[in-house]
Structure 1
């Protein structure tokens, strides 16, 4: 048990870095920023797996050793408890008056009557009677409170079960994030969102980000779909978020193939997820997706609605990028076509405020979309659209800019509906913006076993605190006037309330009326 306690303390101490340092499983970007900002120290942390604490080898080793240690405690204690439970109560000591609680008295009832009354009073106790105890008299040995050790064992079994279910849940679970641009907001009607508002949990490729346990191979997803109709946010006058909501329609299994009008409606809100079997859909966050149209000199247009990443989580000033490929017919030569791609990078404010010396610095004055604006740099050249290499959706490749493959042609501030014309006649129009919602889908098949384990632990802990181990011996000696009753009591744990119970047992065996203050007193001991 000492080993288990030491490992439990070590596990708690090992979890501290996981709460103080950014974790890759939660936010890879924060980890990268931390490493860039802290140099060698952060690299040492990384080698020690301090950015992956709960997936690290050393944390899992402590976890497994704790489970093994607890099992090593449970097995011998269970065997000893079973032997103690099967063993009859100890015989009465020769001198009962030396016990912490002692009472003696005489009654006019004969020995047989007192014996019957004593056995009746102690019928819920584990008893053993002998005609010739250490003092040569008839005595009854009674013991109660075996449930205390049983609850203690159940508590430790529940703890092991909880550790096992947590580990199994980590290996069998998965968690994914998906961003859905919704047709909501004051400027939604002015924009044409070409992105689908539907998500289907039928393939891991449908997620924007996805991570799973070691035993989940990407198959066996619970098939369901939902359509996000809107997103709404309520704010206090100071801009603090009050409530987020999103109305969705969903369907499971074969119902997916029905018309959307037959799907079930549901309102997602903070701490009010959509529960589907062992999957849960959470409304995790939100942001804004500006819509920009590029019109080339030949009249052909391309429109994109792209989510920007909030950099200010109070007023939602956001940063992002867009890339546009010119129409195929304009530049038949592939190389020349690459040199005329359009790329945008800059800031978006849902409620624009202009600061700085020239009033050209864009900031956001409120998180709701009241007066959207863009502050962007417009580039022309090779945006890396068909290179096959991955790029961030929130920023352009700085290497392309530094190498000159992307040339800045304009820096503009734009409000909704405004158009800017580039030097070659290409027009860039800021159409407006929509809101996007970030939905998290979590799957953990071990939630129910984990809940049962935790409730079992709690119930067993309460039982182990309430139940007390106590022993009573009653010695009966026949005398000329009736029977002499001597009684001794011993409690093996704390003695709170034991004196009142001992006195009550004695008065019942002696057939005496209860004391007035005891009539309404509940027995605090539980068995």
Structure 2
């Protein structure tokens, strides 16, 4: 009983119907990954979603809906689909191999019962009719047979490529499943912002990235070594402010170039990624990084250029926070009362609306910054991570960080604080956002996809058909030639081909 149950279960699992059902379930199971935030991509969004939706969000979290592609149920469907395809394809492949070596079936006794058939009486011998059939059916698989009463026949079959295309399609699908699974294990993807002033980025560790998403088998210690230096960024805009072209002029080095310190130039564009060391470097976006100098009362100064993030993608109006530690202060308590943060808005093309700064165009034509200078405890000594784009509002609410000045500044302008500290807006530098992607299975995914298309095309266009020719002598010394055909698929079109072949094999004086 148990063996019978296992055998029936295996037969059901390895049927093509089950494989199609599992493929549909896999597509259905992937939908939450597109509709819900995923922890592997954006953990803060997941936490916000759970906090907003209460028990429903917590229930989805327990059911792994925020880690869809690593969930138990998604992996189970994936594994069952893999087993189903393997169990289905292996027997079919063996059966197809037998068909390739098998001879076409015997000529039916009564060809007039076939869906397609024609008969004619010709001059000449049966050998002449069979020779003409052999010539016309070149490219078909043929078997000639001697029959009773001097009759001879030819069995022909064509269209084996149809099943081959079907197998190629399903094996390519299997290959696609395997390569996608392997890719999830060994790939990685990271984003980093680099100033376009000759700043460098090296793919030497995960700490060099602003965000990093590793594969299941990637720990970040064996990344492909290469370096990129961003020299300049150029952007062209349409009159309405829409971006036309982006181009970052970069240098890069990989392999032996790292040892020789040789840099190679490259123009990095949105649709022209840099391919080096097995990785791809994409240009995702750009923005502006204002440069501020803070001169403290003791005469020492600190200059920083920190990227600010766009809040309006059309005009590139940006916000951010550039933070400074006072020099020469060793006492931690005193230092936490004198830290400086320059926060506010930056406009590449300044427009004023009721003394509120906005931007009228994304290009750098008339830059200005509306800044708030905050002084006090920035929380950078607490050991907790914080955003480089903003200050901790809880410190402002608690009074540990207070605003001591507010002013709109053009490049080169300054503002002085009550203790003699001076804040200068020196200028602005462009930054670019780069994405590094590593996926050694990408080529195999492409190959599998192409083979799927080719296999599907062959299985849909090639027709499996059979044709038989029998030539038998009659009492008057002539030859009766009968032609019959049978399509092994439900596709239309074989009738035209059959009548065309029959017309070439039979004399114009034919009886139907």
Q: Against the structure 1 CA distance between its residues 425 and 211, is the aligned structure 2 distance closer, same or farther, given a 3 Å change threshold?
A: same
Residue 242 of structure 1 deviates from its aligned partner by: 1.3
Q: Distance in 2 between matches of 1:321 and 1:66?
A: 50
Q: Is the 8 A contact 1:376 1:411 kept in 2?
A: yes
Mapping for residues 335-484 of structure 1, pairs under 5 Å: 335-355=333-353, 359-479=354-474, 480-484=476-480
Q: Distance in 2 between matches of 1:443 and 1:103?
A: 63
Residue 408 of structure 1 deviates from its aligned partner by: 2.3
Secondary structure (helix, strand or coil) at the match of 1:454 reads: helix
Q: Against the structure 1 CA distance between its residues 332 and 278, is the aligned structure 2 distance closer, same or farther, given a 3 Å change threshold?
A: closer
Secondary structure (helix, strand or coil) at the match of 2:232 reads: coil
Cα deviation 1:4-26 (Å, max 9, x = unaligned): 11122222222233333344444
Q: Distance in 2 between matches of 1:145 and 1:340?
A: 84
Aligned match of 2:327: 327
Instruction: Indicate the larger mover: 495-504 or 485-494.
Output: 495-504
Aligned match of 1:305: 305
**1:54 and 2:69 aligned:** yes
Aligned match of 2:12: none
Instruction: Indicate the larger mover: 494-503 or 290-299.
Output: 494-503
Instruction: Indicate the larger mover: 62-71 or 170-179.
Output: 62-71
**1:161 and 2:175 aligned:** yes
Aligned match of 1:191: none
Q: Distance in 1 between matches of 2:112 and 2:266?
A: 72
Mapping for residues 12-31 of structure 1, pairs under 5 Å: 12-31=27-46
Secondary structure (helix, strand or coil) at the match of 2:64 reads: coil
Cα deviation 1:197-217 (Å, max 9, x = unaligned): 111223332222222111123
Structure 1-normalised TM-score? 0.88
Residue 30 of structure 1 deviates from its aligned partner by: 4.5
Q: Against the structure 1 CA distance between its residues 387 and 278, is the aligned structure 2 distance closer, same or farther, given a 3 Å change threshold?
A: same
Q: Where in structure 2 are there 5+ consecutive unaligned residues?
A: 1-15
Q: Is the 8 A contact 2:130 2:152 kept in 1?
A: no
Q: Is the 8 A contact 2:311 2:318 kept in 1?
A: yes
Secondary structure (helix, strand or coil) at the match of 2:192 reads: strand
Instruction: Indicate the larger mover: 242-251 or 156-165.
Output: 242-251
Secondary structure (helix, strand or coil) at the match of 1:391 reads: coil
Q: Is the 8 A contact 1:325 1:385 kept in 2?
A: no
Q: Distance in 2 between matches of 1:499 and 1:333?
A: 96
**1:152 and 2:166 aligned:** yes
Q: Distance in 2 between matches of 1:344 and 1:35?
A: 33
Instruction: Indicate the larger mover: 297-306 or 248-257.
Output: 248-257
Aligned match of 1:93: 108
Q: Against the structure 1 CA distance between its residues 136 and 77, is the aligned structure 2 distance closer, same or farther, given a 3 Å change threshold?
A: farther
Q: Against the structure 1 CA distance between its residues 344 and 36, is the aligned structure 2 distance closer, same or farther, given a 3 Å change threshold?
A: farther
Q: Distance in 1 between matches of 2:382 and 2:192?
A: 25
Residue 417 of structure 1 deviates from its aligned partner by: 2.0
Cα deviation 1:375-410 (Å, max 9, x = unaligned): 232222121233322111111122322232222222
Residue 505 of structure 1 deviates from its aligned partner by: 2.3
Instruction: Indicate the larger mover: 376-385 or 437-446.
Output: 376-385
Q: Where in structure 1 are there 5+ consecutive unaligned residues?
A: 184-195, 514-527
Aligned match of 2:5: none
Instruction: Indicate the larger mover: 387-396 or 17-26.
Output: 17-26
Residue 78 of structure 1 deviates from its aligned partner by: 1.6
Residue 304 of structure 1 deviates from its aligned partner by: 0.8
Cα deviation 1:51-105 (Å, max 9, x = unaligned): 4333333323222222222222212222222333333222222221121111101
Q: Distance in 2 between matches of 1:249 and 1:423?
A: 45
Residue 283 of structure 1 deviates from its aligned partner by: 0.4
Q: Is the 8 A contact 2:127 2:152 kept in 1?
A: no
Instruction: Indicate the larger mover: 8-17 or 145-154.
Output: 8-17
Aligned match of 1:247: 249
Q: Is the 8 A contact 2:120 2:507 kept in 1?
A: no
Q: Distance in 2 between matches of 1:277 and 1:13?
A: 36
Q: Is the 8 A contact 1:147 1:467 kept in 2?
A: yes
Q: Distance in 2 between matches of 1:393 and 1:4?
A: 49
**1:198 and 2:213 aligned:** no
Aligned match of 2:484: 488
